[in-house]
A = this chain, B = another copy of it.
Amino acid sequence: MSSIYRIDIGRKKVTVEDVPEIYRHLGGRGLSAAILLDEIDPTTDPFSAGNKCIVAPGLLSGTLAPCSGRLSVGGKSPLTGTIKESNSGGLAAQKLARLGVKALIFEGEPNREGTLIKINKRGIEILPGDAYRGLANYECVKRLREQFGDRIATITVGPAGERRFLNSTVAVSDMDGIPTRQAARGGMGALLSSKGVKAILIDDLGTSIIQPRNFEKFKKACSVFVRNLIDTKQILRKFGTAGVLNPVNSVGGLPTRNFSRGQFEKSQELSGERVYDMIRERGGEGKYAHVCCPGCVIACSNVFVDKEGKSIVSSLEYETITLLGANLEVSSLDEIAKMNHRCNDLGLDTIETGVTLGVAMESGLVPFGDAQKASDMIEEIGKGSLIGRVLGNGAVTAGRVLGVTRIPAVKGQAIPAYDPRGLKGTGTTCILTPMGADHTAANCLPGRGGVDCTKPDGQVALTMAIQALVAVLDTLGLCIMTGSDPANDKFLAGLMSGFTDEEWTGEKVMEWGKSILRMEHRFNEAAGFSSAQDQLPSFFLTEKLPPLGHTYDVPYEDAEKAKRNLMEERGL
């Protein structure tokens, strides 16, 4: 039986609670939403005692379900002011699940203690973290493994979170024992740090795999799911997420020069094909088809290496390549990979960082195309200098200070690597998701759902369906790379039928997803959000995006209506 652990570091107190029946079928994102809605005042200041930080494995984490290692970190976001769930791969979720941790709830007064939380079969301990404070993630995890042994999985907050920067991540260690997976968005690093956490160390020695209620049914559902993943994810396995760069560039939606162009003339130098070629040519530590957590059958990760074959970063992903690359007019994958590594090390979201640097370049602070100066700015963030503080608080704050009005952000959070004018479904996701601009809530890539991503038609229905499915994936702890096509509801129904030994249909899965979205929207509404904030910055509606001339023209009324309909449905 799993339990909920409440941790109040200021009071040095850990409380263990049984899981209430209503949370039984929840995990990850859905559980985080339910707890936040039940326990915090949505109008609370994010950095006050009123806020909480929820760390929760998915419902299927720790089982034999493939790709089920996502860890959710939730709370009221200091960046967006909305409810927030940010999730990450790596080892932590599966180990926490096997240890019987349904959720860790960090609560209480904000403090700057920077402690260690040690979790193993014997329970949870709060240990002093003095020796680790201020350390960047890689050095911190290296030393933690020296002190606590190589078995541990780690969850760490980097210097950006320790400084309470609104752009700050929670880092999770991967199968290579390095803190390269990130719950990156919404400033969750600052939130977790404000509750007094520097690192969480997890040792699952002596635990075993989580058993479903109906093993045979579950195993069969897993096989069907795995077979489908192996059949359909081959391009992803080869080229990684950067495989979408060429298609996104083709439709004219690749953020370039602070979202002022939709195609980058040097896009070929940044493509997934190029990443793959370089890794193969350079050899050494380089890997493609790399996995970030046990049980992954997709393997979209990679280890990107320098000319000598030494690892620069793992994993080099599409959003990072585009936003630290095309968006800054930087065309060197080596330079991008180095910046990516340094962001991971400091605990900075590469999406927010890339967009912030694009805004800084538009202000003239740094020239477009200058990777060295962009890199220097990331170092300034690390040092916490004045310009570092400005940039470390994200695109909206930086734009305000630097006097830039073209700031690509929704609800305070930077728009990811899909220009809403060229990828109208993902653009619509950015305005409709409860999370602030976030493609992971429903990424409507070119061709998805048979909808033309450059036309307004069908986008609202597409994003709403995918959002519901993704809410379930994030609740189960399944990677979104398993496929957020709404037709995948049947695989999830199979898994849930086996796991619970109750009858689940695809329809029920979708209803469940919608009920999770409703919780999140209810939180936001009580926090003061209305459809008035479900909008893009106006330049996306008025500036034609060269060279293909797209504008964002999905009617806001349609989006508003879809959200209203969602909220009026009753469902699960």
Binding site for B on A (CB under 8 A): 42-45, 47-50, 110, 163-164, 166, 386-387, 389-390, 393, 397, 400-403, 405, 526-530, 532-533, 535, 537-538, 542
Q: A390-B386, A405-B110 given as contacts; is B538 within 8 A of A48 (CB)? A: yes
Q: Are A527 and B532 in contact (CB under 8 A)?
A: yes
B401-A45 in contact (CB<8A): no
Q: Does B389 contact A537, Cβ atoms closer than 8 Å?
A: no
Residues of B within 8 A of A48 (CB): 405, 538
Tell me how far the C-beta of A195 lies from the nearest C-beta in chain B, rounded to whole angstroms. Answer: 14
Which residues of B have CB within 8 Å of A405? 45, 47-48, 110, 164
A538/B403 in contact, CB under 8 A: no
Contact of A390 among B164, B390, B529, B542 (CB under 8 A): B390
Contacts of A528 in B (CB 8 A): 528-530, 532-533
Bound form: Cα–Cα A50–B537 in Å: 12
Residues of B within 8 A of A387 (CB): 386
How far, in whole Å, are A389 and B535 apart by their CA atoms in the complex? 27
- Is the pair B401, A393 in contact by a Cβ cutoff of 8 Å? yes
Given A386-B386, A401-B401, A403-B389, verify A537-B163 contact (CB < 8 Å).
Answer: no
Which chain B residues lie closer than 8 Å to A532 at the CB level?
A: 42-43, 526-528
Bound complex: CA of A389 vs CA of B542, how far in Å?
28
> A41 CA to B49 CA in the complex, in Å?
37
Please report the C-alpha to C-alpha distance between residue A509 and residue B522 in the assembled complex, in whole angstroms.
40
- 17 A-B Cβ contacts within 8 A? A43-B532, A43-B533, A43-B535, A47-B405, A163-B403, A164-B403, A386-B386, A386-B387, A386-B390, A386-B401, A389-B403, A390-B390, A401-B401, A526-B532, A528-B530, A528-B533, A530-B530
Residue in chain B with minimal CB distance to A398 = B401
How many protomers of this protein does the assembly include? Answer: 2
**A401 / chain B contacts, CB cutoff of 8 Å:** 386, 389-390, 393, 397, 401
Other A-B pairs, 18, CB within 8 Å; known A50-B538, A386-B386: A42-B532, A43-B535, A45-B405, A45-B538, A48-B405, A48-B538, A164-B403, A166-B400, A386-B387, A386-B390, A386-B401, A389-B402, A393-B401, A397-B401, A401-B401, A527-B532, A528-B532, A528-B533
Instruction: Name the residue on B nearest A194 (C-beta).
Output: B405
Known: A405-B110, A532-B526. A393 touches B389 (CB 8 A): no
Q: Closest 6 A-B residue pairs measured CB to CB? A: A528-B532, A528-B533, A47-B405, A48-B538, A43-B532, A389-B401
A529 to B42, CA, bound (A): 14
Measured between beta carbons, the chain B residues less than 8 angstroms from A402 are 389
User: Which residue of the partner chain, among B43, B393, B529, B537, contacts A45 with CB atoms under 8 Å?
Assistant: B537
Residues on B with C-beta less than 8 A from A386 are 386-387, 390, 401
Tell me the nearest residue of chain B to A365, going by C-beta.
B386
CB distance from A178 to the nearest CB of B (A): 28
CB distance from A260 to the nearest CB of B (A): 16
Q: Please, which residue of chain B has its CB at the minimum distance from the CB of A48?
A: B538
CA–CA, A532 and B405, complex, Å: 27
Q: Complex formed: what's the CA distance from A530 to B43 in Å?
A: 11
CA of A451 to CA of B396, assembled, Å:
42
**Are B397 and A400 in contact, CB atoms less than 8 angstroms apart?**
yes
Q: Which residues of B contact A393 (CB under 8 A)?
A: 400-401
Q: How far is the CA of A175 from the CA of B152 in the complex (A)?
A: 75
Give, as a whole number of angstroms, the nearest-CB distance from A259 to chain B: 15
Chain B minimum-CB-distance residue to A401: B389
Cα separation A387 to B402 with both chains bound (whole Å): 11
CB-defined contacts of A390 to chain B, threshold 8 Å = 386, 390, 401
* CB closest chain-B residue, reference A190: B403
Nearest B residue (CB) for A390: B401
Shortest Cβ distance from residue A186 to the other chain B in the assembled complex, whole angstroms: 15
Chain B residues near A164 (CB-CB < 8 A): 403, 405
Inter-chain contacts of A542 with B (CB < 8 A): 49
Which single residue of chain B is at the shortest CB-CB distance from A44? B538
Complex Cα distance A363/B95, Å? 40
A49 to B401, CA, bound (A): 21
State how many angstroms separate the Cβ of A146 from the closest Cβ of chain B. 31
Q: Which residues of B contact A44 (CB under 8 A)?
A: 538
Task: For the complex, give the distance between the alpha carbons of A142 and B249 in Å.
Answer: 55
Q: B residues within 8 A CB of A400?
A: 166, 393, 397
Question: Bound complex: CA of A110 vs CA of B542, how far in Å?
Answer: 13
Q: Roughly how many angstroms separate A542 CA and B45 CA in the complex, as a whole number? A: 12
Bound CA–CA A530/B533 (angstroms): 12
Q: In whole angstroms, how far apart are the Cα atoms of A150 and B145 in the complex?
A: 77
What residues of B have a CB within 8 angstroms of the CB of A533 in the complex?
Answer: 43, 528
Contacts of A527 in B (CB 8 A): 532
Q: How far is the CB of A556 from chain B (nearest CB, A)?
A: 9
Q: Once bound together, how far apart are the Cα atoms of A526 and B43, in whole Å?
A: 19
User: B residues within 8 A CB of A535?
Assistant: 43
